[in-house]
Every structure is written in C-alpha cells, then in structure tokens.
Amino acid sequence: MPTQKASTSSSSSGPSRPSRPSGSPKSSTSKADQRCAQSECILVLQGGGALGAYQGGVYEVLTAVHRDPDWVAGVSIGAINAALIAGNPPEKRLQRLREFWELVSSPMPTGLAQVLDGDLRGAFNEASALRGVLFGVPGFFMPRIPPAGWHPRGTDGAISHYDTSPLKRTLERLVDFDRINDGPTRLSVGAVNVRTGNFEYFDSTTRRLDARHVMASGALPPGFPPVEIDGESYWDGGLVSNTPLQYVLDQPADRRRVVFQVDLFSALGPVPGTMGEVVAREKDIRFSSRTRLNTTHVLERQRLAQAARRLLDKLPAQLREDPDVQALARLHQRRAGMDIVHLIYRSKGYEGQSKDYEFSRRSMAEHWQAGVADMSRTLGDPTWQNHDPEADGVHVFDVPAADAKPGGPQA
C-alpha cells in the first residue's frame, strides 16, 4: 500500500516550559482512538543528543490524547527517554522526563533570551555548545581532568574525553529498573559490541536491564567511554543504526501494531554553502538512519507477501506442499496489520552542527514544544483520524511540519 501523506496548515505554539497546547486534539471515540485502544502501541525513539527533548513533547501529546505505549524502544538519547518512560508509573513519566531535561539544560538570563534572534541566536547556540564541551553537562557528563593522554592505557580515562558517572547517578535516581524488568511496559535499547562490531539489543523481555544497558546505548566515542556488560564492551548504537525501527519491525506480532517513529535528524536537506553547514549536513545524513528506507522495505515486503498469497491460491493442491511453495507461504505469516506514524524534528535556521550537544534551556524548551506541535498536528489530521483501524497491511503516515516549505526537506 502506498505511503499516506497527510497535510494540514494548522500550527501550535506554547510557552517556554513544555505544556500541552490548547489546540491539541481531544480524545474521543474516533477510529484513531479505537486503534490505540485495541492495538499494541509502540514508541520508537532515535538518537540525537540535545535534540531529544523533542521526543518528550511527542510523548506528552501521545499520552494526553491517546494512551501510554506498551513498548518503548530507543537508541542513545532515545534510550534514555525510553527508560524514563518505561521505568516510571504513567502518572510520573512526564514529570520525570521534564526533570531530566531541566537538569541537563542550562538557563540563560531572561533579558538575553528576549533579544537573541537570527545570527545572534546562532552565535549564542555555538557559545552554549562550547560551554558544554569545556565544562560538561549537569547530571550527564563532565570533562576528564587530566585529559585522556595522561591516563594509563586501556582505562576509561585513556579512551574517552568525558566521565559519564553523573548519568549513571541520574538514571538510578529517576528510573525504577525493577519496574522495567517486572512491569507492563517493554523496553528495548540498542548498542554496538566494541570487539565484534555487531549491533545488539537489550530487551526487558529477554534479560534484566539496569543503568549500564541504557548508558551503553548512548556511549558515543570518543566522547564517552564504552560500557562493560557481561565481559563485553559496548558503544552507542547510533554507530550502526540510530533508530530501533527495524528491530521492532522484525519482532513477531500477535495483534495489530501502531508504531510512532520519532526521528531527530532529517535525511533530506539543502546543499551546504559553508564548512559549518557541511558538518551539520554530514551529521544529518549519518544519523538519520534511513528511516524512510526501512518503511519502504516494509511496504515492499508487504506487496511481495500479498503477491505470494495470490499465487498460492492459484496453485493446484498437489503443489502446495512443495518446499519452495512453503517458503513463499511463510512470507505471508504476518497477518496483523501495522500503522507507522513518522515524526521528524526539523532544525531551525540558526541551529548548526552543534545542535545535538547544545543544551541551553531555551533550545530544550523549543525542541519540546516542536514535539508537542508536530504530534498534535499529526494526531488531529483527518487522514489519521479517519483511517480504518481494521484495515489490513502496513500503512505509513507522515504529516509535514506546518512551516515546511514547498520543495524543502520533508524527511
């Protein structure tokens, strides 16, 4: 089935502190509400450092308008957000997300915030990012003193620029790992085995998780040290794939699924004109993880499975036990339908190559509010609202941003 693209001209704005906008769609008895009530609701969170506040805004609207997810999967900062959600009871999840993002973001003088715009805002963001590089981020990481070259070979200090023990303390304070391991919400986080280079998912349905598994998913070298788990060292999953969407799609399903894929990097963008724009564009391409390609492959597999089913129905009975025919039949084993709702953070013009490590309070609030606005617009769009929740197959929904320009980046 072709991708369904919905468009709308509505927009939503809000205060600097994240909050649900008055224009958010209301939960009622629409087909979309029925879909979330009867299906497995899955939240898939891409990595992207400081941009991850966008995912907090998306979650705020998801839980306010529909319901909490049954399964949260994430990589890097997406793994941290996922753990904050799965590791708390529903009534505390939004509070914990806000607490984390307010902890790691730095406020600026009120008067300064009002005058920053255009080139001045870009310069401020770069200065804010530089402060994080030099002095670290509260509750997240701090620079190593002395620097890496002064530490004995093979130690964490010799192979990373920052100490992430503050993040461990933050996770242990804000996340109830007993709830993750024994509670109703599934958590999956992805990391890369440093020795083998293989991607691995730590899933609460197959093993007990703790802060190390979440930290491993966000251990991006050479900034952060690898995390040792069961004798193996792990780095950030974004080195191989910055989104766990394919992992989710590969897992067996016994009921219909609604997957909310929340990306922080756009695969499409303009050709850069400066060296700073080159670095930013390269990062977008590298970490966007080809989400659109994944959904395209899902649709193509669906078309192949449907063709195989039609072919099998035409075969005489004596051929249906043939091993090759049985192999084709297995293509059609996934009978549960699936909706994939794709949301993507669109960078502002003043956000440069440092956008994923620029932790100012103003940027955090803007990212969060962008998530609120995009999710509100998506769930309120008629194409989503009126979609048949009983429809077979895979359906992809992608509502362009309200300020998207014709011919501009949409992914």
pLDDT, tens digit, 9 for 90 and up, residues 396-408: 888 766 655 433 3
**pLDDT tens sequence across 168-219:** 999 999 999 999 999 999 999 999 999 999 999 999 999 999 999 999 999 9
Over residues 363-377, mean pLDDT: 95
pLDDT the model gives residue 13: 34
Better-scored residue on pLDDT, 296 or 61: 61
CA 213 to each of CA 130, 178, 195, 411: distance values in angstroms, whole numbers, following the listed order: 28, 14, 17, 29
8 A C-beta contact, residue 164 and residue 137: no
pLDDT for 102 beyond 70: yes
Alpha-helical runs (H) found in 260-360: 275-287, 291-314, 323-330
Task: Decide if pLDDT at 8 tops 50.
Answer: no
Max mean pLDDT among 1-15, 315-329, 365-379 falls in 365-379
| CA-based nearest residue to 197, from 231, 233, 171 | 233
% of residues, the chain, pLDDT over 90:
53
Higher pLDDT pick, 301 / 410: 301
pLDDT of residue 1: 36
3-state secondary structure of 2: coil
pLDDT grade, residue 49 (50/70/90)? very high
**Is there a contact between 88 and 176 (Cβ–Cβ < 8 Å)?**
yes
> How does residue 29 score in pLDDT terms, banded at 50, 70 and 90?
very low
- Is a pLDDT exceeding 50 seen at residue 20? no
Q: What is the pLDDT at residue 404? A: 52
53 compared with 333, residue with greater pLDDT: 53
Reported as a pLDDT band with limits 50, 70 and 90, residue 111 is low
What pLDDT, on a 0 to 100 scale, did the predictor assign at position 409?
A: 35
Q: How far apart are CA 353 and CA 186, in angstroms?
A: 34
Rounded CA separation 400/405 (Å): 9
Average pLDDT, the chain: 84
HSE-CB at 93 with a 13 A cutoff on CA atoms is: 29
Model confidence at 97: pLDDT above 90? yes
Mean pLDDT to the nearest integer, 54-70: 94
Q: Residue 9 burial (CB < 10 Å; 0-12/13-18/19+)? A: exposed
pTM of this prediction exceeds 0.95 = no
* Side-chain half-sphere exposure of 119, counting CA atoms within 13 A: 0
Q: What is the pLDDT of residue 388?
A: 77
19: pLDDT confidence band, cut at 50, 70 and 90? very low
Provide the pairing of β-strand 40-45 with 257-263: parallel
Nearest Cα neighbor of 94 from 183, 41, 18, 189 is 18
On the question of pLDDT at 248 being above 50, the answer is: yes
| Residue 406 half-sphere exposure toward CB, CA atoms < 13 A | 0
Choose between 144 and 256: higher pLDDT: 144
Rounded to whole angstroms, the Cα distance separating 240 from 218 reads 12
Contacting residues for 228 by C-beta, under 8 A, at least 6 apart: 212, 234
At position 316, the amino acid (one-letter code) is P
The answer to whether 89 touches 179, Cβ cutoff 8 Å, is: yes
* Token pair belonging to 187: 């958590």
Determine the pLDDT at residue 198: 96
DSSP, residue by residue, 124-183: HHHHHHHHHHHH-BTTTBEE-SS-GGGSPTTSGGGS-SEE-HHHHHHHHHH--HHHHHHS
Contact partners, residue 180, CB within 8 Å, separation at least 6 = 83, 86, 87, 187, 204, 209
Average pLDDT over residues 244-260: 88
**Structure confidence at residue 252 (pLDDT):** 83
Mean pLDDT of the 100-117 span: 76
Cα separation, 16 vs 258, in Å, equals 30
